[in-house]
Amino acid sequence: MGEIRLKRIFSIGAFIFLIIVTLFGSEILADRYLQLLLRGNYHLAYEMQSVRARTLYTVDNMVQEFQQLEEEYGNYLFIFSTETSELRGYTVYIFHAQFERGFIDFNVVVDDQGKIDTFVVQTTSQPGAIAEYIDTSKFDEFEITIGDGRYRLPAVITVPKEIDRYPLVILIHDSGALDRDSTVGPNKPFRQIAWGLATQGVAVLRYDKRTFVFGERLSQTSPSIETEVIEDVIKAITAASRIPSVSSIFLAGHGLGGRVAPTIAMRDSRVDGIILMATPSRRELQVIIDKQKYISSLNKGEIGQQTQLLTDYLQIALEGKLPPGAPVLAATAGYYYELDRMNPIETIRELEIPVLIVQGDADFESTVQDYIMFMNALWTKINVYFQLLPGLDHYFMPVEGEISTPDNYYEFRHVDGRLIDTLFSWIYIFD
């Protein structure tokens, strides 16, 4: 097929889609149309087209084009990044997609009226779009739901093929309203970790964070670590424990998730081991203060006035001088007071299950100093293991220079294979 170029004219015929575009942006519309085509829902996609477009691009045309695409490039895997630009009053979205045997760019153009104007499919070259340590033929993925009642969360379990019994890792997010992949910029570190581990024979469960799915509803209540993190991790443990093939359950917490993981393990005996990935040993507010100062120094060479005012306010909260209900960033002072009571070092001292603490030495958020604090406090514990990985940032992606910057997060990169090997080797020992 070489290069596929399909230029079609589309528009929105249903009022509901105008509402969607108005409320959520034209990218929602573009993505919806593309997903319908990729999933073979051609009749629904057809209904989204204008009268003129329907004469140019019938359901039969759709079937033929996407069957040809599948025959040449295999199954669709995922969209790994999206670009957006403006062209003569039109918004252009380029969805970079990974197929089994190549890469496809889907170009969707949306006009100033919120209508899909043009759709172009073309082959492209995206070397390295998938990490070399990942073999998608060695695992399957299944959509599941964790929990019940009011806050049911969509999740996915990645399961190695042709293995009767396997350990399972539950990934726990860092701070913020994050999806199952812990998406940052064009990167999806949790998905890479899941696929890398599953390639080697370890199942992984990851889920959309409650604040990601129910952010608007939760904004009306006071946040807490219990409701934001702990409750849902325990639900994930319950879901994992019901899988007959699971031989052991490990928690792998990233950043704040690592800070909370020891507390969860202390409460739930079904946890067989925990992993702290890029987890600060400093108090959370202290981490935020130090991070703000570092970022400000990068931008201006010195601490700016706004940053100084913010850090002064955070310092007051750090000293416990604010009432619990006082606003602090996107939470309250009480939220951070609750975190302070979950001291990971003190909790790990009481744990008897295996613990792995892994850190990148180029991380500006959770730093080498945090890692050293863990080592100094816990080196006598025979169940605690340490691994420092040179040249890696907060997401265990390689960077140039001694310390990473926030700009690195928006460069398309891979989680380093050394992290995958470290996690797998350790899990294999204690499974």
**DSSP per position, 2-62:** ------B-----SHHHHHHHHHH-HHHHHHHHHHHHHTT-HHHHHHTS-HHHHHHS-HHHH
- Report how far apart the first and last C-alpha atoms of the chain are (Å, whole number): 47
Return the residue matching tokens 């792995």.
356
Report the distance separating Cα 273 and Cα 335, nearest Å.
Answer: 26
Token match 């994930």: residue?
A: 236
- Residues with Cβ within 8 Å of residue 380, at least 6 apart in sequence: none
- Separation of alpha carbons 214 and 193, rounded Å: 25
- Evaluate the CA torsion angle 345, 347, 351, 354 in order and state its sign: negative
- pLDDT at res. 19: 42
Strand, helix or coil for residue 222: coil
Which H/E stretch holds residue 192? helix 189-200
Give, for all 431 residues of the chain, the pLDDT tens digit: 444 433 333 333 334 444 444 434 577 878 888 888 899 998 888 877 766 667 777 888 889 889 988 888 888 888 877 878 776 666 778 888 888 777 888 887 776 666 777 777 877 766 566 899 999 899 999 999 998 878 899 999 999 999 999 999 999 999 988 999 998 877 889 999 999 999 999 999 999 999 888 875 665 567 789 989 999 999 999 999 999 999 999 999 999 999 999 999 999 999 999 999 999 999 999 999 999 888 888 876 666 677 788 888 999 988 989 999 888 888 888 999 999 999 999 999 999 999 999 999 999 999 999 999 999 999 999 999 999 999 999 999 999 989 999 989 888 889 999 999 999 999 999 98
Domains of the chain: 15-124 (3.10.450.590), 136-430 (3.40.50.1820)
Secondary structure percentages of the chain, helix, strand, coil, to 5: 40, 25, 35
What are 20's two structure tokens?
């969607």
- Distance, in Å, from the CA atom of 6 to the CA atom of 212, rounded to the nearest integer, reads 35
Q: What is the DSSP letter of 173?
A: -
Structure tokens at 372: 């050293």
Cβ neighbour number for residue 187 with a 10 Å cutoff: 23
Give CB contacts under 8 A, 24+ apart, made by 227-231: 229/172, 229/173, 229/256, 229/257, 229/260, 230/260, 230/263, 230/264, 230/267, 231/147, 231/151
pLDDT (0 to 100) of residue 21:
43
SS3 call for 118: strand
CA angle 331, 332, 338 (to 5 degrees): 100
SS3 419: helix
Tokens standing for 195?
Answer: 């696929």
Instruction: Report the side by side order of strands in the sheet with 166-172.
Output: 139-146, 153-160, 203-207, 166-172, 246-254, 273-277, 355-360, 384-389
pLDDT for 368 equals 96
